[in-house]
Amino acid sequence: MFCYQCQETAGCSGCTKSGVCGKRPETAALQDLLIWTTKGLSAVTTQLRREGKTVDASVNHLITENLFTTITNVNFDDDTIRARIEATLETKALLAQLADCSALPEAALWNGTTDEFAAKAVTVGVLSTENEDIRSLRELITYGLKGLAAYTSHANVLLKENEEIDAFLQRALAATLDDSLSAEELTALALETGSYGVQGMALLDEANTSAYGNPEITTVDLSVGTRPGILVSGHDLRDLEMLLEQTVNTGIDVYTHSEMLPAHYYPAFKKYEHFKGNYGNAWWKQKEEFEAFNGPILMTTNCIVPPKDSYKNRIYTTGAVRYPGCPHIDGVIGETKDFSLLIEQAKHCAPPTELEQGTIVGGFAHAQVLALADQIVDAVKSGAIKKFVVMAGCDGRAKSRSYYSDFAQALPKDTVILTAGCAKYKYNKLNLGDINGIPRVLDAGQCNDSYSLAVIALKLKEVFGLDDINDLPIIYNISWYEQKAVIVLLALLSLGVKNIHLGPTLPAFLSPNVAALLVENFGIAGIDTVENDMELFFGK
């Protein structure tokens, strides 16, 4: 196997024996083949569109779900990945009859049987592209598209569609098979991927806010109640809504975990009295925290870590997530899922063991921040706020990530952190105080809510009458882990944001030349020690 798509890849170069994430070589091979066949299907759909023919939304969804399936910590189940390859080949064969496929690449034409999958997979992985710069750019685009697909999938379950984004996503996937494209052309495509990333996040923002209202300042409880609970993790708000509905008056409380924390900020969920609070921290601490929770856990998206036997019988998956041996709650778009299995189990479980007490405050997505714009602008003009520091992205297992807690604590007291994604767990419980009533950590929400941070930056640029987004007093110090962070990064680059610091390590999939190109054109940099970075950013 060879996989280097996430920040925790072995030796900062690539997982070759098995994944640090727990992905086995057989699963990695099937995921490689799923990506390759999905690119082939995308070549066919792109050809169909070129010929003026329409592509059904169900095909768009098949493609985005396939990409979502291969994101780090989403699907560890070979049988379902194999079934997805079969469905992809079947759809491709049907659609290929409607288009002129004579000039399309092999991936568009291959139609092997299930017993040929393993042999084919070894020939179509990441390393099948020999030129390391082309490989690097192809993977940068592919990982960005995986992140984009995850975001549009969440919008799709809320019945929001955008054919333009799907058409681009498929055209870009197909382009990664095209040997005639130069490094310059692929670089331009990576930036175009970023601009569709902005649109994808905007689509999801629209889907979430039109369904559940605009996030507002909210105090979230970190303690536990005395009743049994169900813990919901991942990013899918529609799943949470269905679960909350079905647990009304059952004597069960519902808690959020990791990236689901921002659900508390949405007005629509506040009416549920049994929507108790947030339990635990970022994804990587789940082994201890899920054990202590005592009740059923619903994984709506990444990040699932291979579960310990002690709580495996309490893990349920839904959507793109699968883990062998854990029950899966089915439900297609528009259908109400049936969570009675979890509810029945919860009734016989002990209440959660308390991990901590206290509260945290969040809900600073674009509408809420713009409502406070006057107060914030005044604070900037008076000098009470000197700089904003965007610390969005992911948390992870690496010890070196303690940098982010130390960095947040070392920041001058006249700075405000703008955050989104699970990166926040490194500093959202540190009580960093406030500036004239404005908290020093403003949490916009999930990783996709980085869109809010971009909207806020663009608004500040307008208010201060600046021509260039880079003239704002904003520092970008972003942490990444998986492929959603890649689309967030590309989205920021497409908006013209420069000098982003990315850590705790730069992606292994950036070849030296591609990394140099990003440094030269965008000022992308890594991180240093907290002391040196304070000196760099603040000159002290």
In degrees rounded to 5, what are phi and psi of residue 18?
Answer: -160, 165
Of 229 and 393, which CB lies nearer to ligand FSO in the complex structure?
393
422 is a contact residue toward ligand FSO (CB under 6 A): yes
Which residues are within 8 A (CB) of 98 and not within 5 positions of it... i.e. 6 or more apart?
48, 53
Interface mask toward ligand FSO for 375-414; x: CB under 6 A: ------------------xx--------------------
Give yes or no for residue 421 binding ligand FSO (CB under 6 A). yes
Residue 303 binds which entry of ligand FSO, ligand SF4, none, with Cβ cut-offs from 5 to 8 Å by kind? ligand FSO
Contact window for ligand FSO (CB under 6 A) among 7-15, 270-278, 341-349, 479-487: 479-487
Residue closer to ligand SF4, measured from CB, 13 or 210: 13
Task: Name which of ligand SF4, ligand FSO, none residue 3 binds, using a CB cut-off of 5 to 8 Å depending on partner kind.
Answer: ligand SF4
Residues forming the site for ligand SF4 (CB under 6 A): 3-6, 8-9, 15, 19-21, 23, 72
Contact 327, 317 (CB under 8 A): yes
* C-alpha to C-alpha distance for 488 and 42, rounded to whole angstroms: 23
- What is the Cα–Cα distance from 419 to 166, expressed in whole angstroms? 28
**Minimal distance in Å, beta carbon 330 to ligand FSO?**
22
Least spacing, CB of residue 32 vs ligand SF4, in Å = 11
Query: Which does residue 211 touch among ligand FSO, ligand SF4, none (CB within 5 to 8 A, set by kind)?
Result: none
- Residue 484 found at the interface with ligand FSO (CB under 6 A): yes
Alpha carbon distance 147, 192 (integer Å): 14
Min dist. Cβ of residue 143 to ligand FSO (A): 11
CB-CB contact of 395 with 284 (8 Å): yes
How many residues in the shown chain lie near ligand FSO by CB under 6 A?
16
Q: What's the CA gap between 133 and 125, in Å, rounded? A: 16
| DSSP structure class, residue 355 | -
Q: Which two tokens stand for residue 183?
A: 């490094």
Nearer to ligand SF4, 15 or 514 (CB): 15
Q: How buried is residue 124: exposed, middle or buried, by Cβ count under 10 Å (0-12/13-18/19+)?
A: buried
Q: At what angle do helices 237-246 and 340-347 cross, to 10 degrees?
A: 60
Task: Return the number of the residue (379 or 478) whose C-beta is nearest ligand FSO.
Answer: 478
Q: How far is the CB of 324 from ligand FSO (least distance, A)?
A: 20
Site for ligand FSO in 85-144 (CB under 6 A): none
Nearer to ligand SF4, 72 or 294 (CB): 72
Site for ligand FSO in 74-93 (CB under 6 A): none
Binding of residue 258 to ligand FSO (CB under 6 A):
yes
Nearer to ligand SF4, 73 or 419 (CB): 73
- Under rule CB under 6 A, residue 447 binds ligand FSO: yes
Helices (H), 131-267: 132-157, 163-175, 183-212, 237-246
Residue selected from 236, 259, 443, 533 as contacting ligand FSO according to rule CB under 6 A: 259
Shortest distance (Å) from residue 24 CB to ligand FSO: 20
Chain centroid to CA 204: how far? 12
402-440: buried (b, 16+ CB within 10 Å) or exposed (e) per residue?
A: ebbebbbeebeeebbbbbbbbbbbbbbbeebeebeebbb
The residue count of the chain comes to: 540
Which residue's CB is nearer to ligand FSO, number 120 or number 397? 397
Q: Which does 407 bind (CB under 5 to 8 A by kind): ligand FSO, ligand SF4, none?
A: none
Beta strand 438-439 with 434-435: parallel, antiparallel or unpaired? antiparallel
Q: Which residues are registered as beta bridge partners of 434?
A: 439
Told to check if 491 binds ligand FSO by CB under 6 A, we report no
Token pair in block for residue 301: 């998206």
- Residue 481 CB, nearest approach to ligand FSO (Å): 4
Cis status of the peptide bond prior to 504, with omega within 30 of 0: yes
Where is 443: in which H helix or E strand? strand 441-443
Query: Backbone phi, then psi, for 490, in 5-degree steps?
Result: -60, -35
Opening angle at CA 2, ends 29 and 169, nearest 5: 70
Q: Which does 484 bind (CB under 5 to 8 A by kind): ligand SF4, ligand FSO, none?
A: ligand FSO
Nearer Cβ to ligand SF4 (10/211): 10
CA torsion angle 387 393 399 404 (round to 10): 10
Identify which of residues 258 and 368 has a Cβ nearer to ligand FSO in the complex: 258
Q: How far is the CB of 163 from ligand FSO (least distance, A)?
A: 25
Min dist. Cβ of residue 423 to ligand SF4 (A): 17
* For ligand SF4, the closer CB: 348 or 399: 399
- CB closest to ligand SF4, residue no: 19
Tally the C-alpha atoms within 13 A of residue 121's C-alpha that lie toward its C-beta.
22
Instruction: Find the binder of ligand FSO among 481, 492, 509, 518 (CB under 6 A).
Output: 481
> CA-CA distances (angstroms) from residue 189 to 63, 131, 185, 211, 222?
19, 18, 6, 32, 43
- Identify what 363 binds: ligand SF4, ligand FSO, none; CB under 5 to 8 Å per kind: none
Instruction: Output the smallest distance, CB 422 to ligand FSO, in A.
Output: 3
Q: Which residues bind ligand FSO (CB under 6 A)?
A: 235, 258-259, 283, 302-303, 393-394, 421-422, 446-447, 481-482, 484-485
